[in-house]
Structure 1
Amino acid sequence: MKSKQWFTPVRFSHLTGHAGVGSIVRDQNDYLLFVKDTSTWPIKNLTKLHAVERVKRHLEVSSNLVLPPEASIDETANLRISGGAIPTVRFPNWALCNLCNTLHLAPWKNSSVEISQKLKCPTCNKGTLSQVTWCAVSSYGDLIDVPWHKLSHRNPKNDAQTHCRSSSNESYLKLELNERGRWEVQCKKCGAKNSLEMTDFQRNVHKQPGYRERKSLNGEVVTYTVMEVNDPRVFSSVSERALVIPPESNIDKTSLFFRLTQQSQLVAGIKDAKRPLQKKREVKKAMRELKCSEEELFSALEEIDRGDLKDAVDFSNITPDDMMFDEFEALTTIQKFNRNADFITSHLTSEWSDYLGSLSESGDIRPEINVIDKLIAVNRLRVIEVYKGFQRAASDAEDFDPTPIVAPDFTGNLDWLPAIELFGEGMFFTLNNEIIEKWEQHPLIRQRALEIETRYQDSEIILPDEAIPTPRFILLHTLAHALVRELESIAGYPAASLQERVYSSAEKKMAGVLIYTAVPDIAGSLGGIIEQAKPRRFIKLLDSAFKQLEWCSMDPVCGDMEGQGPSWLNRAACHGCVLLPDTSCSYNNVFLDRVFIKGKPDEGIPSLKEFVKK
């Protein structure tokens, strides 16, 4: 095809999600593309993230974290691209005629048609060709084209079908719906045909589109399952997030020191210069690009030689288990911040207490609201999201615990992982730990949570380590969802643009919720959530949320359900009350139950307000 090289824009945040390495995406010309691994990415256009050592320790990452390449297209210069692009390969390689239903293997290879135009079917000369939407995956993470010939001949009924051989030079296979509405592949040469449903086959090789096959270890048999490309089992990204907190967040990014750490080539050019004239030339180049004096440049270089923040701060005792507690401590501790810091909080707890006290005297307040302990506005935050790889699941997925994660580098030779940094704002609040401790000891509440925990242990769902279905976590998670839904209607934020982070631990006395919005842009957001964190606004938000939790449009059905959602991991929680878009919930929209807040008197389950001192 003409213009074989084409560029499709994608958001940074999608590269750690549905458009990450190993995924199948649809481009602007309606072609399906496979996103290639990081070993094929343009190295010179990658930027290393700094001040993320604590994040790496928390997320158990030893590799460097690198931003994906950024590119722009000059449409006036024959679509010339500046910057770096992430390579893809067209997949699946088969196309189907919309009229005669004939399958064609890679018909675009020898075509002279423009890439933006539809291909004509060479068999009937009337229909147009579109890529098939079927593929085959294994639970090891493999992805291959459907072996159409093999599937159509897997149950031969005569010698002609038994000895029929595949051919890549002719189009002799058809894919169409049979009289029962099921997809069926048929060989026009011998008449063999078979249904695609519940189709498995086995090979002893591993394969990804655009890469060579490799033999499986120890001759193991790999089971492949045929499914549609939009099946959630075909691709599931594995990414994790962490906040950048002090002291790393206090680095002044406008300082010459920090800007110089971002210019490794300039530093290397100065240090590697062997002749005085060469060194002088490199110094002038650095001064020109960084707009600084020679004295300032050498002072910053000496600072780098003495060691950056990684060496100045001891991170040796940080473990993954500490991540949520370290963030909780950073959020609840009053401290001073640099003006250009990536993490800035405003503590509103005293204002909240005073305002609450004035309302309590008049009796114009819901009892549940008194459970709020601390209130903090997060004026600025930086979130690092690391893409660790992806998973696929064939029909034998239950034999894996869990299914293997395929790293974004298929070669295993790179010392970095792709990551993005998100900037934004949020609100954070904690619940009174004494009240929660008394509430969570109630036997009926403990029993209700235990039922969900038992279901979770028997399910195949994998959630972040902090997501443990204790009464405390379920209460916090449900309240977080209610507040996000209220923010959508009161503050005008789409629910899909908001994120939650639940801090729950009875041992560490954590009971807090962070609701924030963050985008891959230094501008962050416009202060709408910070405004809602002010006591006079926050109390209205809480009041509406607690009202929402008392009643659902699906009641009494929703409130009486024994289980809802994936693996029945929710109880009184549905789309009419607390469920959120999947992009907003960090915990797969499970471990939700309004009964933990509103109670259920007919079963003897107390409401939260019964434990609050009036």
Structure 2
Amino acid sequence: MERIKHDLRLSETVSPFGVGAIVDVRGQSLIAADTSWWDKRYSPEIHCDRLIQRIGAGELREPPTHSGRPAKETPGLLYWRFPESRFCERCTKLSIFTGKAKGKWTNTCACGGMLVPMRYVAICEKGSHIQDIPWFKWAHRGTDAEVDDNVRFCRAYKELRFVRAAKYGEGLKSLRVECGACKRSRPLSDLVMKSSLQRDGIKCEGRQPWQDLQTDSACEHPLVAVQRGATGNYLADRLSALDIPEERPQSVELADKIRGHVYFDKILADNGGPQADMVSEWIASDLGTSKDVVLEVAAGHGADSDAPLLDLKDGEWAAFLKKLSVDGRDLGVDDFVVDSWNVAPRDGWPAALTSRIGAVGQVRRVREVRALLGFQRHNAGADFIKADLGPDARRKPVYPAIEMFGEGIFIRFDEPFLSEWESRPEVRARADILVARRNASEWAHKLDPPEPRFIALHTIAHLLIRRLAYASGYSSASLQERIYANSSRSDRTAGILIYTAAGDAQGTLGGLVRLGAPDRLVPLLIAALDDADVCSNDPVCIESDRQGSSSLNLSACHGCSLVSETSCETANRLLDRQLVLGGSNIPGLLEGVLEEVRNQAA
């Protein structure tokens, strides 16, 4: 078999055309094989200890790259042709064979017409398998297939055609697979009916297209016919981490100090008795904490003491706090450089805004590693397929990964004000709408819990991304968000990071980080709030509490809050303008900012 070389961007090999994804290249439909087919000699290993600790044992490897035009000997990744069935755009003949011209394989028919991939494939509803539809078998099945013996015993495998017959109407009824020998003709409208493949006796092979067919690999789950480019065909599970010096959250350090206190053993010995209560007050007084925290640590429940691995964002939050604790320019030369400054009141700046922002960091350099763990098909309840399907269980799995270098803006919000705001009954009631819908959804459990602080900060990040796209020189799709908003951890988080990253060290030019300067960022925040104050879909949008996929947005739509889905951690879900700007008797996190600005202008 001759291997034909095509070019993809390096980042596309992880997202969106990673392992198991279908990609169209120059009229051909291809599917990526798992990493067990990779040649490690040409796939350099990427090191990111924080990410490896999160995903477990394994290796992060970058797909092979090259400069210039690809040749036969150029290292690359294997992509299988899928679906195999194609039809000729000229003679409409349907086959799985490839044409040949001057000794080379081509994507043309013998008649000279281009071969076009069939638009439908079969997906397993629960097993995440995908396969070609056996068109010959399907075309000769159906309710009237047994009426004519010529149809029943037809063996004209090379006489299938994919035709359009206007006399049958419009839509899928006019698109038919026709046998030239027995004259059997069947419309694609039969294919998309419920349980159609199951009624025709077509079963799941229990494999991916690049895997060999095994006699014992048959799958018991039914197949469903879907369009080749449907979004449900590939639900990737990706994980990214900022490569920063891992810092321990303050609560973990406090717990270690409590355990190391000279009197801590007395609490354990008394096991909840009166002496433990008294000694815990001594320790709390020495360390500047509360008696309840000391007793929690003694009971083994405090400060995430039972968690061997803290959440990735916990470590990142702690690292940002350490950087922000030193006001001024960061003279570091590593992959994590942050200039920090506190938001002090200034003439012309609304106090309603500056009082609610704790500190700002201009992230001049940051390294991000993105990895593909695996994928699912059809829905989030289907089986998870790993990115490495190698047969040797003792071998470390290989995860496709890329490293990106970038810049950004980090904003930390005032925790005391945020805690007081989200404790209000109106605010919690508004957020509970999304909490109930997330819990009722089969797939939304993967999203972050939509507590009030997360919804508000997430929406602010979107509003700022839309405004930064005008001022930074980067498109909206080039900007990414990272939301730090969780009140259930021992160390509460309340901040947002907006950054851009490219595949090499010279990929960022400072257009974003310069906007993090004090005299630029505050006006940008005000402008972002002003943009969101009135939506082109108002009053429908602002009065709505049911928008977006699975109704997981409240007052948020494409006219005011949504950005490119590649920029958002939750794919444009869990957004609400009312929790930011207020409205309908709901106090917003930044309510009063625009009113103060307008009063100053007047």
* TM, length-normalised to structure 1: 0.78
**CA distance in 2 between partners of 1:610 and 1:339 (Å):** 38
Q: Compared with structure 1, are the counterparts of its residues 579 and 149 closer, same or farther at alpha carbon in structure 2 (3 Å cutoff)?
A: same
**More divergent stretch after superposition (330-339 vs 582-591):** 330-339
Letter in 1 for 2:449: I
**CA distance in 1 between partners of 2:139 and 2:156 (Å):** 14
Question: Could you tell me which residue of structure 2 aligns to residue 287 of structure 1?
Answer: none
1:88-145 per-position Cα deviation (integer Å, ceiling 9, x unaligned): 122211121224433122233x5557556x624x5xx475432223211213222211
Q: Compared with structure 1, are the counterparts of its residues 161 and 512 closer, same or farther at alpha carbon in structure 2 (3 Å cutoff)?
A: farther
The answer to whether the aligner puts 1:140 opposite 2:163 as a matched pair is no
**Matched residue SS, 1:512:** strand
Question: Could you tell me which residue of structure 1 aligns to residue 180 of structure 2?
Answer: 188
**Matched residue SS, 1:560:** coil
Q: Compared with structure 1, are the counterparts of its residues 126 and 412 closer, same or farther at alpha carbon in structure 2 (3 Å cutoff)?
A: closer
Q: Compared with structure 1, are the counterparts of its residues 234 and 167 closer, same or farther at alpha carbon in structure 2 (3 Å cutoff)?
A: farther
* Contact 1:477–1:502 (Cα < 8 Å) also in 2: yes
From 155, 160, 179, the counterpart of 2:169: 179
Question: Could you tell me which residue of structure 1 aligns to residue 7 of structure 2?
Answer: 9
Alignment of 1:119-138 (within 5 A): 119-120=108-109, 122=110, 125=111, 127-138=113-124
From 344, 348, 355, the counterpart of 2:341: 348
Give the deviation of 1:74 after TM superposition: 5.0
* Contact 1:449–1:469 (Cα < 8 Å) also in 2: yes
**CA distance in 2 between partners of 1:364 and 1:40 (Å):** 58
**Matched residue SS, 1:424:** strand
The answer to whether the aligner puts 1:223 opposite 2:202 as a matched pair is no
Letter in 1 for 2:339: S
Question: Could you tell me which residue of structure 1 aligns to residue 364 of structure 2?
Answer: 379
**CA distance in 2 between partners of 1:142 and 1:610 (Å):** 49
**Matched residue SS, 1:513:** strand
Letter in 2 for 1:539: V
Give the deviation of 1:574 after TM superposition: 0.8
Alignment of 1:105-504 (within 5 A): 105-108=96-99, 112=102, 119-120=108-109, 122=110, 125=111, 127-138=113-124, 139-157=126-144, 158-160=147-149, 163-168=152-157, 170-176=158-164, 178-182=168-172, 183-190=175-182, 191-194=184-187, 195-198=190-193, 199-201=196-198, 202-203=202-203, 205-215=205-215, 220-246=219-245, 319=308, 321-334=310-323, 339-349=332-342, 352-353=343-344, 357-359=345-347, 364-365=349-350, 367-393=352-378, 397=379, 402-413=381-392, 414-415=395-396, 416-462=398-444, 464=446, 467-504=448-485
Q: Compared with structure 1, are the counterparts of its residues 340 and 193 closer, same or farther at alpha carbon in structure 2 (3 Å cutoff)?
A: same
Question: Could you tell me which residue of structure 1 aligns to residue 580 of structure 2?
Answer: 597
From 523, 542, 551, the counterpart of 1:540: 523
Q: Compared with structure 1, are the counterparts of its residues 445 and 164 closer, same or farther at alpha carbon in structure 2 (3 Å cutoff)?
A: farther
* Contact 1:501–1:513 (Cα < 8 Å) also in 2: yes
Give the deviation of 1:442 after TM superposition: 1.7
* Contact 1:425–1:518 (Cα < 8 Å) also in 2: yes
The answer to whether the aligner puts 1:569 opposite 2:552 as a matched pair is yes
**More divergent stretch after superposition (200-209 vs 476-485):** 200-209
What fraction of aligned residue pairs are identical, expressed as a percent? 29
* Contact 1:463–1:588 (Cα < 8 Å) also in 2: no
Give the deviation of 1:549 after TM superposition: 2.3
Alignment of 1:543-554 (within 5 A): 543-554=526-537
**Matched residue SS, 1:119:** coil
Give the deviation of 1:322 after TM superposition: 2.5
* Contact 1:482–1:545 (Cα < 8 Å) also in 2: yes
Question: Could you tell me which residue of structure 1 aligns to residue 85 of structure 2?
Answer: 94
Q: Compared with structure 1, are the counterparts of its residues 380 and 134 closer, same or farther at alpha carbon in structure 2 (3 Å cutoff)?
A: same
Give the deviation of 1:477 after TM superposition: 0.3
**CA distance in 1 between partners of 2:547 and 2:322 (Å):** 38
**CA distance in 1 between partners of 2:474 and 2:307 (Å):** 35
1:184-208 per-position Cα deviation (integer Å, ceiling 9, x unaligned): 3233333242432234334253122
Q: Compared with structure 1, are the counterparts of its residues 426 and 463 closer, same or farther at alpha carbon in structure 2 (3 Å cutoff)?
A: farther
Q: Compared with structure 1, are the counterparts of its residues 166 and 585 closer, same or farther at alpha carbon in structure 2 (3 Å cutoff)?
A: farther
Q: Compared with structure 1, are the counterparts of its residues 126 and 380 closer, same or farther at alpha carbon in structure 2 (3 Å cutoff)?
A: closer
**CA distance in 2 between partners of 1:506 and 1:156 (Å):** 59
Q: Compared with structure 1, are the counterparts of its residues 452 and 216 closer, same or farther at alpha carbon in structure 2 (3 Å cutoff)?
A: farther
Alignment of 1:496-515 (within 5 A): 496-507=477-488, 508-515=491-498
Letter in 2 for 1:370: S
Q: Compared with structure 1, are the counterparts of its residues 551 and 216 closer, same or farther at alpha carbon in structure 2 (3 Å cutoff)?
A: farther
1:7-38 per-position Cα deviation (integer Å, ceiling 9, x unaligned): 111122111112111111122x3211121221
* Contact 2:4–2:72 (Cα < 8 Å) also in 1: no
**Matched residue SS, 1:233:** helix
1:470-492 per-position Cα deviation (integer Å, ceiling 9, x unaligned): 11100000000000001001222
Alignment of 1:18-37 (within 5 A): 18-27=16-25, 29-37=26-34
Letter in 2 for 1:347: S
**Matched residue SS, 1:242:** strand
**Matched residue SS, 2:558:** coil
Q: Compared with structure 1, are the counterparts of its residues 430 and 412 closer, same or farther at alpha carbon in structure 2 (3 Å cutoff)?
A: farther
Q: Compared with structure 1, are the counterparts of its residues 377 and 319 closer, same or farther at alpha carbon in structure 2 (3 Å cutoff)?
A: farther
Give the deviation of 1:561 after TM superposition: 1.6
* Contact 2:136–2:160 (Cα < 8 Å) also in 1: no
Question: Could you tell me which residue of structure 2 aligns to residue 53 of structure 1?
Answer: 49
**CA distance in 1 between partners of 2:351 and 2:531 (Å):** 13
Q: Which runs of 5+ in 2 are unaligned?
A: 248-304, 597-602
* Contact 1:71–1:81 (Cα < 8 Å) also in 2: no
* Contact 1:37–1:408 (Cα < 8 Å) also in 2: yes
**More divergent stretch after superposition (13-22 vs 151-160):** 151-160
Letter in 2 for 1:379: R
Letter in 1 for 2:58: S
**Matched residue SS, 2:386:** coil
Q: Which runs of 5+ in 1 are unaligned?
A: 249-315
Q: Compared with structure 1, are the counterparts of its residues 338 and 166 closer, same or farther at alpha carbon in structure 2 (3 Å cutoff)?
A: farther
1:386-421 per-position Cα deviation (integer Å, ceiling 9, x unaligned): 11112111xxx5xxx622221122224341222111
**Matched residue SS, 2:222:** strand
**Matched residue SS, 1:222:** coil
Letter in 1 for 2:206: H
Letter in 2 for 1:150: K
**CA distance in 2 between partners of 1:536 and 1:592 (Å):** 28
Letter in 2 for 1:430: R
1:307-330 per-position Cα deviation (integer Å, ceiling 9, x unaligned): xxxxxxxxx987554221110010
1:278-301 per-position Cα deviation (integer Å, ceiling 9, x unaligned): xxxxxxxxxxxxxxxxxxxxxxxx
Letter in 2 for 1:323: L
1:42-71 per-position Cα deviation (integer Å, ceiling 9, x unaligned): 221121123x2222223x231021121223
**Matched residue SS, 2:538:** coil
Give the deviation of 1:496 after TM superposition: 0.3
**CA distance in 1 between partners of 2:59 and 2:96 (Å):** 40
**CA distance in 2 between partners of 1:114 and 1:531 (Å):** 53
**Matched residue SS, 2:177:** strand
**CA distance in 1 between partners of 2:493 and 2:155 (Å):** 63
Question: Could you tell me which residue of structure 2 aligns to residue 85 of structure 1?
Answer: 76
Q: Compared with structure 1, are the counterparts of its residues 515 and 215 closer, same or farther at alpha carbon in structure 2 (3 Å cutoff)?
A: farther
1:410-443 per-position Cα deviation (integer Å, ceiling 9, x unaligned): 2243412221111111110111111111111221
**CA distance in 1 between partners of 2:346 and 2:388 (Å):** 59
Letter in 1 for 2:243: V
Letter in 1 for 2:159: S
Give the deviation of 1:166 after TM superposition: 4.9
1:136-195 per-position Cα deviation (integer Å, ceiling 9, x unaligned): 121322221111122223324214266234554x22343436413213323333324243
